[in-house]
Structure 1
């Protein structure tokens, strides 16, 4: 059953690849940009109660890249989604669909979700997934040093929004960053610093703008070393 649904979803996605490109809406480069504006399908999805059972079926197409477990890829090509806040998931998917966030790989898949209710359903399912015990970490010979440097930087400017443990803030749309794949964290922070993540929080852009590549490596190493909050896979109930 699941294999059939997944194949059908992938075929639908391949059609989407052949269709028109993703829309492009002005983001951080625009004067009127509001980072967490609640409008359109985004606010509709946020106001709906997600159904985990329906969300599991809708997630089939997502699992092709993010894996059925929601673990993503340790090499950072696809982020770990399991346990992420529903608000963050809804915002990011809606932003990609609306053209606020450039992600040509994900856009055809996100476009297969039919309405705000399905956005809410798939986000509820992803948030309910147990947290994988393994993820991509910084693996250099100087790992301990990088994590220590990153901890110092994180505690100065990052924890105010993302919290002591990297758990983020569901109500404010701040993502869980603890336990995310190191290479994914590094890529996203680099893109935010360099102005390529068009749906970024302008406050974060200001904070991260002065950071050097070496500092971003250290912060990413520290964040990836943290334990993601939530029920770990294999935990006894």
Structure 2
């Protein structure tokens, strides 16, 4: 049954690739766009109770890239999703579907979710997954120095929103970053700083706009070292 669902979803995604490109709605700096507007399918999905069992089936297509565990890829091509807040997941998927976030790789898969209920279901399932303890970390020779530098910046500029342990804030749509891959963190923060992540929180844009590349490396190295108590998977024996 699961194999049939996955093959059907992959076929649908292939057809989506052959169809029209993702829409391109006005981004964060455009007139009329509000970072977290209270309208559209996002709001409808947020008001629904997600079903973890149905969400597991809907996640089949996601697991091809993000892995069945939700661990993503250590090289940063696909982020760790496991344990992420449903609010964050719903917003990001809805923004991709609406053309507010540019992600041509994700778009054909995101549009296979048929309605707000399915958005809620798959998000509930992903949030239920424990965060893997093994993920991509900064591996430079100066790792301890970079982490120390990053910690200082994180505690000054990031901890208020993302929390002491990278747990984020579900009610405010601030994502979990504990357990996230270093290379993915670095890529996303670089895109936000440089204005390429069009659905970014404008407050975060202001915070990291002054950061140079070396500072982004350091703060990404520290963030990737964080572990969230109670939500991480049990360490492998």
Give the TM-score category using the shorter length.
over 0.9
Instruction: Tell me if the contact between 1:83 and 1:230 (Cα under 8 Å) persists in the aligned partners.
Output: no
| Residue in structure 2 matched with residue 89 of structure 1 by the alignment | 89
Give 1:151-190 correspondences, 5 Å limit.
Answer: 151-190=151-190
CA RMSD of aligned residues (A): 1.2
| Residue in structure 2 matched with residue 117 of structure 1 by the alignment | 117
Secondary structure, aligned partner of 1:62? helix
Give 1:2-81 correspondences, 5 Å limit.
Answer: 2-81=2-81
Q: Distance in 1 between matches of 2:34 and 2:223?
A: 27
Q: Distance in 2 between matches of 1:229 and 1:90?
A: 24
TM-score for the superposition, normalised by structure 1: 0.97
Q: Distance in 1 between matches of 2:110 and 2:36?
A: 19
Q: Distance in 1 between matches of 2:52 and 2:24?
A: 31
Secondary structure, aligned partner of 2:200? coil
Q: Distance in 1 between matches of 2:23 and 2:139?
A: 38
Q: 1:21: how far off?
A: 0.3
Q: 1:232: how far off?
A: 3.0
Instruction: Tell me if the contact between 2:132 and 2:179 (Cα under 8 Å) persists in the aligned partners.
Output: no
| Residue in structure 1 matched with residue 128 of structure 2 by the alignment | 128
Q: 1:216: how far off?
A: 0.3
Instruction: Tell me if the contact between 1:100 and 1:199 (Cα under 8 Å) persists in the aligned partners.
Output: yes
Secondary structure, aligned partner of 2:220? helix
Instruction: Tell me if the contact between 2:131 and 2:179 (Cα under 8 Å) persists in the aligned partners.
Output: no
Q: Distance in 1 between matches of 2:105 and 2:30?
A: 24
Consecutive unaligned residues in structure 2, runs of 5 or more: none
Q: 1:85: how far off?
A: 0.2
Instruction: Tell me if the contact between 1:182 and 1:221 (Cα under 8 Å) persists in the aligned partners.
Output: yes
Instruction: Tell me if the contact between 1:180 and 1:224 (Cα under 8 Å) persists in the aligned partners.
Output: yes
Instruction: Tell me if the contact between 2:150 and 2:219 (Cα under 8 Å) persists in the aligned partners.
Output: yes
Q: 1:58 to 1:170 in 2, by over 3 A?
A: same
Instruction: Tell me if the contact between 1:178 and 1:229 (Cα under 8 Å) persists in the aligned partners.
Output: no
Q: Distance in 1 between matches of 2:48 and 2:58?
A: 16
Q: Distance in 2 between matches of 1:147 and 1:231?
A: 22
Q: 1:229: how far off?
A: 4.4
The count of aligned residue pairs is 236
